[in-house]
A and B are shown apart, each in its own frame.
Chain A
Amino acid sequence: MQGKRRSRGNAAILAPMYLFTVIFLIGPFVYMIVLSFLTRAETWGIVNTFTLRNYQKLLEPVYLHSFGESIRLAVYVTALVVLIGYPFGYFMAKLPPKARGGLLLVVMVPFYTSSLMRLYGWIIIFRANGLFDRLLMVLHLTDAPLKLLYTYPAVVVGMVYALLPFMMLSVYSSVEKMDWQLVEAARDMGAPPAKAFLTITLPLSLPGLMTGVTLTFVPSMGLFFVADILGGNKIVLIGNVIQEQLMKVHDWPFAAALSVILMLMMSLTVWLYRRVTGVSEMEGFV
């Protein structure tokens, strides 16, 4: 057969991605791990002496606190995104084809829009005496402005808002290609709607849900600019700590150690989630 020659030819076209990945992805990852064991120089830069100090420093209360805060926020955000986004994706997939295509377009536009612009809209809404405060006062729900900007809820709203499209779209594409005859069969055999949903629809849409959860949970630990812009300096996520260590404190080895731990936590979460749901392939999104 022509097989051998063909496969060699095809292996050669892997070369650009292979080289790029090795040099600009594996290289940096390896360097990050090495860097996390090196010592910071007195003034500027790095000294090549092995140390565990960076990892010991992680145990200081400030940093433990911000790890805790990040996980807590990521859990809240992911839960809200699932609660809002899952029904949206599900209902969208059940629309008649024409309406579905139209709504998909409408949903994609904010996804392509600058996330800073979308966040900026929230600043105008949440600011003291801003639109939200005035709406509440007009409705006589409150007497004084709530001043929601630079608070925890504002950061949660901003994150949920920024990450919601990922969940909607991945749930949508999973539900859309589902075989509805299975649900009908379950209903015909007397399963109540809730049971049919839990035993048929939910398991079948799990891959999409999983993709959505991953694409929400992973970024929500690192989106420092949301916490920055909507939270002022009050909410310090692990992403903010890393950014500060890199840009202001210039303690790169410590930033590397923080990143290594964050990376490990991420991988563990994804792995756990896969074990629990039994889904191994990411699906739906891209």
Chain B
Amino acid sequence: MRKRTGISNLYLLFITVMMYLPIVIVMIYSLNESRISSVWSGTSLRWYEALMRDRTVGTAIINSLVLGVLSSLAAAVIGTLGAIGTVRSRFRGRGIMAYLATLPMMTPEIILGMLFLAFFSLLGLPFGMTTLVISHTAFCIPYVFMQVRARLAGMDHSFEEAARDLGAGRARVFFDITLSLIFPAILSGMLLSFAMSFDDVIISVLVTGVNVNTLPILIYTRLKTGITPEINALCTLMFLATLALFLLSHLAGRLADRRQHGKPHPAPAAGGPANV
């Protein structure tokens, strides 16, 4: 028995190391002085300096942040209301709605990109931030929707009933009880949406305008046309930012959970995917 846990632990360790290997390599090479990445000519921060001077990178970062925030907020509102609607109402089409809401997850991104590109040009929408926000919102809704739905399904209704018995109105019950109970799910769906939006290449490449670059689009074009060491530095900074955001959301989720259940949750509460 003991030997077997040894082997399984070794396996977990090996795969985990392999998952981090490319990330760590990029981080190490971002400190390489040389322009050619196969030559190591000493440590330096010159690529970080070059990055700071690069205007296009700054604009791309801002675009990505704006896009991520707008689309995850929109997805949070639409997805949450949709989840409450499909779980609570006896509306006829709710089964179909629930299926359609998850459709973007079941569709390869390249097809979603194609759909949006063709449809937006049919509508004559100007390609750029508007089209990016609409398409990102569309593929982010399922993440919020499914998290909130799962939370609602496992929720204890006695709080809401108690509040109603004590004379609280529908709106009051919704804002004071329901919303605060599903809030961790909304938050975790939003964070997942933000991460998905911030990382998206395929759809963004297709629906963006000529002059609007997001960070992934910029990195993708640069990786295709010839690698500059700046990319190493940029990726490293992005990774550190993601890591910070992730740990922060994890802490926030734990605090929220502790407040609700009086004890910490074993899984990372704001961690998203595996959490439900």
- Name A residues whose Cβ lies closer than 8 Å to a Cβ of B: 3, 6-7, 9-11, 13-18, 20-21, 24-29, 31-32, 35, 84, 87-88, 91-92, 94-95, 97-98, 100-101, 103-125, 127, 129-131, 161, 164-165, 169-170, 172-173, 214-215, 218-219, 221-225, 228-229, 239, 242-243, 246-247, 252, 255-256, 259, 262-263, 266, 270, 282, 284-286
Contact = CB atoms under 8 A, between A and B. Distances in A.
A118 to B, nearest CB: 5
Contacts of A221: 108
A124 B137 contact: no
Contact of B26 (A13, A124, A224): A124
Interface stretch (B42-50, B51-59, B140-148): B140-148
Nearest to A105: B268
Nearest to A220: B108
Given A17-B82, A262-B108, A270-B106, A105 B271 contact: yes
Given A109-B242, A170-B274, 13 more contacts: A7-B88, A9-B170, A24-B134, A31-B118, A32-B114, A114-B198, A114-B242, A117-B26, A117-B238, A120-B232, A125-B22, A218-B106, A266-B106
B81 to A, nearest CB: 5
Contact of B235 (A13, A28, A120, A286): A120
7 contacts: A105-B250, A109-B243, A113-B23, A173-B274, A222-B109, A246-B114, A285-B274
B259 interface: no
B78 A121 contact: no
Nearest to B223: A229
A28 B115 contact: yes
B175 interface: no
A262 B112 CA distance: 12
Contacts of A108: 246, 268, 271-274
Contacts of B143: 286
B242 A13 contact: no
Interface of B: 8-9, 11-12, 15-16, 19-26, 29, 37-38, 77-79, 81-82, 84-86, 88-91, 94, 97, 100-111, 113-119, 122, 134-135, 137-138, 141-143, 145-147, 150, 170, 192, 195, 198-199, 201-202, 205-206, 215-216, 219-220, 223-224, 227, 231-232, 235, 238-239, 242-243, 245-246, 250, 266-268, 271-274, 276
A225 B202 contact: yes
A114 B239 contact: yes
A17 B81 contact: yes
A224 B38 contact: no
CB-based closest 7 A-B pairs: A121-B22, A17-B82, A222-B108, A14-B85, A10-B89, A222-B110, A28-B115
Contacts of B15: 84, 88
* Main SS class of interface, A: helix
B79 A17 contact: yes
A17 B97 contact: yes
A16 B117 CA distance: 22
Contact of A263 (B21, B111, B138): B111
B118 A104 contact: no
A161 to B, nearest CB: 7
Contacts of A223: 109-110, 202
Contacts of A129: 38
A6 B91 CA distance: 11
A14 B97 contact: yes
Given A20-B138, A104-B268, A222-B110, A115 B25 contact: no
B195 A124 contact: no
Contacts of A100: 266
Contact of B110 (A87, A106, A124, A243): A243
B81 A13 contact: yes
B91 A10 contact: yes
Contacts of B215: 114
B97 A21 contact: yes
Contacts of A27: 119
B273 to A, nearest CB: 5
Nearest to A267: B106
Contacts of B8: 87, 91, 94
B268 A14 contact: no
Given A13-B81, A114-B219, A286-B142, A107 B19 contact: yes
A116 B118 contact: no
B25 A124 contact: yes
Given A114-B239, A116-B201, A104 B267 contact: yes
Contact of A101 (B101, B110, B266): B266
A7 B250 CA distance: 36
B94 A14 contact: yes
A25 B12 contact: no
